[in-house]
């Protein structure tokens, strides 16, 4: 296995970096092979998943993200993000997988030269995955003053109302092509437990407490669109039979801030990155990678002088009613 990986890595080193929107199946194979190696070394399951035995050289059916922009780019160990990595003393594992996302999002003194004071000390970048139920819940804390990454929270979420057969089919289709379906099965927990662990994580960083009426402390969520917090989280709370947490009462829609700052429209993360000349990293629609790439857009905008303000707020009397605070916004 190690020899095969080494040979593949040497052959891929000869491939030139991505140009513009070109994507290479070989780079996809490298990232996917890395993740299969990760789940193979950690997995508690005994039988191989379909993605373990399928060809890793077949072309992807979705846009790939850049793996060559930074020679030190490595996929995150998704067992580590769940606190379940057992290979921290294995040099070969540490060479292949990243265990500190802050290294992927560096900041220099020059990046801070045009930065303006912000209304919040911390920005919580969130990008959910899952259409039927939430499957992945990643949140990255960005220090709005230094633009540096503080910490990352990442959980795979097990649906509560779907049959095991439906879940297996859903996950194979959603995450199988990315090589992380086995990791999902090994680590996914119910949404209610995710919320409890998320709140404990927020409290550790002094960003939330029940004593403060459940609101965030000098922090705000940033999402690429309104869907994540406006629509999906309330739906999932109903499915999971829990109340909507108070910290989901308001948020910042990056699309609206982007539109008003640059004076141009971007309908999604990839179009923002393309317009800004930011090359993408990782796998699109893997929530943890999308969250990090959205963070890179946020860092760029902060560095160019953008001020992040709340763009949407729920009505306290009727949480279904949302007030959009920017007159010029993406609809």
> What residues are annotated to the active site?
129, 285
CA distance 169 to 229: 26
**153 Cβ contact list (under 8 Å, min separation 6):** 137, 138, 139, 140, 141, 197, 198, 201
Maximum C-alpha span of the chain: 62
Per-residue CA distances from 311 to 205, 226, 303, 304, 314 (Å): 24, 9, 20, 19, 11
**9 Cβ contact list (under 8 Å, min separation 6):** 30
Residue 198: CA atoms inside 13 Å, Cβ hemisphere, count? 25
Name the one residue in this structure whose structure tokens are 């030269």.
Answer: 113
């Amino acid at each position: 296995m190690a020899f095969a990986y080494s040979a593949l890595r040497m052959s891929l080193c000869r491939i030139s970096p991505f140009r513009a929107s070109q994507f290479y199946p070989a780079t996809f194979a490298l990232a996917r092979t890395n993740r299969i190696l990760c789940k193979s070394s950690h997995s508690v399951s005994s039988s191989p998943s379909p993605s373990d035995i399928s060809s890793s050289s077949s072309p992807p059916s979705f846009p790939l993200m850049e793996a060559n922009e930074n020679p030190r780019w490595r996929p995150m160990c998704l067992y580590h993000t769940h606190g379940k990595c057992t290979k921290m003393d294995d040099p070969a594992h540490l060479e292949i997988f990243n265990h500190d996302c802050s290294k992927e999002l560096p900041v220099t003194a020059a990046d801070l030269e045009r930065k303006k004071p912000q209304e919040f000390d911390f920005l919580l970048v969130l990008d959910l995955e899952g259409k039927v139920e939430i499957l992945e819940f990643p949140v990255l804390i960005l220090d709005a003053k230094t633009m540096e990454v503080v910490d990352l929270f990442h959980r795979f979420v097990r649906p509560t109302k779907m049959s095991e057969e439906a879940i297996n089919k859903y996950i194979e289709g959603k995450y199988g092509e990315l090589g992380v379906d086995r990791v999902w099965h090994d680590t996914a927990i119910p949404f209610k437990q995710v919320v409890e662990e998320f709140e404990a994580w927020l409290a550790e960083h002094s960003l939330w407490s029940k004593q403060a009426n459940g609101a965030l402390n000098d922090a705000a969520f940033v999402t690429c669109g309104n869907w994540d917090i406006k629509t999906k989280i309330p739906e999932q709370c109903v499915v999971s039979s829990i109340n909507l947490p108070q910290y989901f009462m308001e948020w910042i829609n990056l699309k609206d801030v982007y539109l008003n700052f640059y004076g141009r429209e971007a309908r999604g993360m990839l179009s923002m990155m393309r317009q800004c000349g930011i090359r993408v990293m990782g796998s699109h629609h893997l929530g943890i990678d999308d969250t990090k790439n959205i963070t890179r857009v946020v860092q760029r905008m902060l560095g160019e002088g953008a001020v992040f303000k709340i763009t949407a707020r729920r009505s306290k009397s009727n949480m279904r009613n949302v007030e959009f605070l920017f007159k010029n916004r993406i609809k």
